[in-house]
Structure 1
Amino acid sequence: MVRSILITGCSSGIGYRAAHDLKLRGWRVFATCRSESDCARLCDEGLESFSLDYADAASIAAAVAEATARTGGTLDALYNNGAFALPGALEDLPTDGLRAIFETNVFGWHDLIRHVIPIMRAQGQGRIVQCSSVLGLVPMKWRGAYVSTKFAIEGLTDVLRLEMADTPIKVVLIEPGPVTSKIRVNSIPHFERWIDWRASPRAAQYESSLLKRLYKSRGRDPFELPPSAISKKLIHALESRNPRPRYYVTAPTHIMGALRRVLPTRALDAIIRRG
């Protein structure tokens, strides 16, 4: 039987690569995007694509209904991947901005999970894979909104894994570090909408650091890997009989994961501040 998977955030980067790589391995891939134009582009590339907007509960329900209508009621796997960043100092972040990023990066993921679990229970098996981040393991300045959502996803997924242990549904975390994507560019509209940096007491710091990182192309980050590196871990998470609870990707994730286990908080903070 052909295995099926619903993937979110497939317009570019990790989700785009995963959709194509899994299709080549024989999976039936439902490659969802928020934008209809991106879905049309993916259909032209030979993928099955339709819209899914995490911030719209009706869109989530409709996407699951569309996928299961095409398979006859089954869905073997879910890869929660779509997310966005909202850079800026936490003291400058309006709470409504934090609500907005949680709506997409956390609440939408939870809503989608709740739609697929009954399907997986009924069919007697399933995989739920969550794309977290090294920023779900350790914090970093200017990224408080995104870090908060990834820490939330880590906790949500760990609890879900424990709760699903008495079912045939496997729950897995993938934790990338720097990976080639459009997340920086895509974060600019959110930054411009929510952060009034000119009125901030940190305005000089914005000019000397964050604005340069946001608006100036600096080439590849140190240790940056292509999205195909994530696909390799995703394939193992989906196809192994006994997948690992979490998969680190990139050297920074391995390093920070190890340091978090062995260092006291102040020492880890000092290392992160220098980075």
Structure 2
Amino acid sequence: MTNIVITGCSTGIGLETAKYLKSKSIKVYPTARDPKDVEMLKELGFEHAMQLDVRKPNEISTVINKVLEIDSKIDIWFNNAGFGQTGAMEDISTEVLKEQFETNVFGLHECTRQIIPVMREQGHGKIIQHSSVLGIVSLFGKGAYNASKYAVEGLTDTLRLELEGTDIYPVLLNTGPVTSDFRKNAVQKLKENVDIEHSLFKEQYLESMEGIAKKVPFKEEAISVAQIVHTIILKERPKPRYYITKATYLLGYIKRVVSTSLLDKILLKIG
């Protein structure tokens, strides 16, 4: 039976992907940082749910070793864990930027670095990296998150070259707006790490916080991501990149065909 390890399964895309793949007879090892979420996953029938904070290399090693003890292989590793830090660049301290990178980039890299030797030894594997439409274009007030996803793009593009000739396939997911707690959590991070009251961008922040409940254009359900992950699992040689949501296709196309100045004007309207 094909198996997969998924990071960040407490809610949203990770959780829905785990449930969907389980329904398709894929053996799923879902992970979550909070022990309460691990228990929730077990209650949903995921007997091999495990605790994993991707910022802790020893926990990554523990998960890998436990899966290998059970199955002697790891077919797919899905680096899904991540969050969005909102705030203008001048309002984001270097420490806050580091925090964003600790999970979205360094945690993803450590998982990738540890799983590659396993996949080399077994002779196959797929590493799915959760990037974003914001790994392709940038939006106002999302510089920390933008930067983290651009970093994921660079790491994965390079990894693909380094794994050429093997049966190990790094795959990028460029996900647009999808139903999850992402926006709610981003607002919480904004409140925690930005001095909104004394910022030059106070009005923009308040407006974005008020608009959290508004309908987002081209938004899709998390099942859209789960279905693509299932497609990747079934493909002998998956594509190196998958766009998810119409927003990603549209903005990816616009970036290719218009000037940087015009792109900036378009993105400012969206942001």
TM-score above 0.5, yes or no: yes
Q: Does residue 68 of the first structure (1) align with residue 63 of the second (2)?
A: no
What's the RMSD between the two structures over aligned residues?
A: 1.2
Aligned-partner residue type, residue 70 of structure 2: R
Q: Give the Å deviation of 1:188.
A: 3.3
SS of the residue 1:165 aligns to: coil
Q: Match for residue 168 of structure 1? A: 167
Q: Give the Å deviation of 1:81.
A: 0.6
Aligned-partner residue type, residue 155 of structure 1: G
For residues 63 and 185 of structure 2, the distance between their equivalents in structure 1, rounded to whole angstroms, comes to 23
For residues 4 and 88 of structure 2, the distance between their equivalents in structure 1, rounded to whole angstroms, comes to 37
Q: Give the Å deviation of 1:194.
A: 1.2
Q: Where do residues 68-147 of structure 1 align in structure 2 (5 Å cutoff)?
A: 68-72=68-72, 74-147=73-146
Displacement over 3 Å in runs of 4+: none
Q: Match for residue 213 of structure 1? A: 211
Q: Where do residues 242-261 of structure 1 align in structure 2 (5 Å cutoff)?
A: 242-261=237-256
Is residue 131–residue 174 contact of structure 1 (8 Å, CA) maintained in 2?
yes
Q: Match for residue 152 of structure 1? A: 151
Q: Match for residue 17 of structure 2? A: 18
Q: Match for residue 226 of structure 1? A: 221
Q: Give the Å deviation of 1:22.
A: 1.1
SS of the residue 2:50 aligns to: coil
For residues 153 and 212 of structure 1, the distance between their equivalents in structure 2, rounded to whole angstroms, comes to 30
Q: Where do residues 180-219 of structure 1 align in structure 2 (5 Å cutoff)?
A: 180-207=179-206, 209-214=207-212, 217-218=213-214
SS of the residue 1:142 aligns to: coil
1:109-151 CA-to-partner distances (Å, cap 9, x unmatched) read 0000111111111111000011111101000011111111011
For residues 194 and 55 of structure 1, the distance between their equivalents in structure 2, rounded to whole angstroms, comes to 19
Q: How many residues align?
A: 269
Is residue 142–residue 210 contact of structure 1 (8 Å, CA) maintained in 2?
no
1:77-106 CA-to-partner distances (Å, cap 9, x unmatched) read 101111011111110001000000100000
TM-score (norm 1): 0.94
Aligned-partner residue type, residue 33 of structure 1: A
For residues 126 and 19 of structure 1, the distance between their equivalents in structure 2, rounded to whole angstroms, comes to 18
Q: Give the Å deviation of 1:204.
A: 3.0
For residues 186 and 105 of structure 1, the distance between their equivalents in structure 2, rounded to whole angstroms, comes to 14
Aligned-partner residue type, residue 102 of structure 2: E
Q: Give the Å deviation of 1:205.
A: 3.0
Segments of structure 2 that go 5 or more residues without pairing to the other structure are: none
For residues 84 and 96 of structure 1, the distance between their equivalents in structure 2, rounded to whole angstroms, comes to 16
Q: Give the Å deviation of 1:213.
A: 3.1
Q: Match for residue 176 of structure 2? A: 177
Aligned-partner residue type, residue 230 of structure 1: V
Is residue 187–residue 209 contact of structure 2 (8 Å, CA) maintained in 1?
no
SS of the residue 2:164 aligns to: helix
For residues 203 and 50 of structure 1, the distance between their equivalents in structure 2, rounded to whole angstroms, comes to 40
Aligned-partner residue type, residue 25 of structure 2: G
Is residue 84–residue 101 contact of structure 1 (8 Å, CA) maintained in 2?
yes
Q: Give the Å deviation of 1:18.
A: 0.8
- Once the two structures are overlaid, the 10-residue window that deviates more, 172-181 or 194-203, is 194-203
> Identity of counterpart residues, as a percentage?
37
TM-score (norm 2): 0.96
Q: Give the Å deviation of 1:13.
A: 0.9
For residues 204 and 221 of structure 1, the distance between their equivalents in structure 2, rounded to whole angstroms, comes to 20
Q: Match for residue 54 of structure 2? A: 54
Q: Match for residue 271 of structure 1? A: 266
For residues 109 and 217 of structure 2, the distance between their equivalents in structure 1, rounded to whole angstroms, comes to 33
Is residue 79–residue 128 contact of structure 1 (8 Å, CA) maintained in 2?
yes
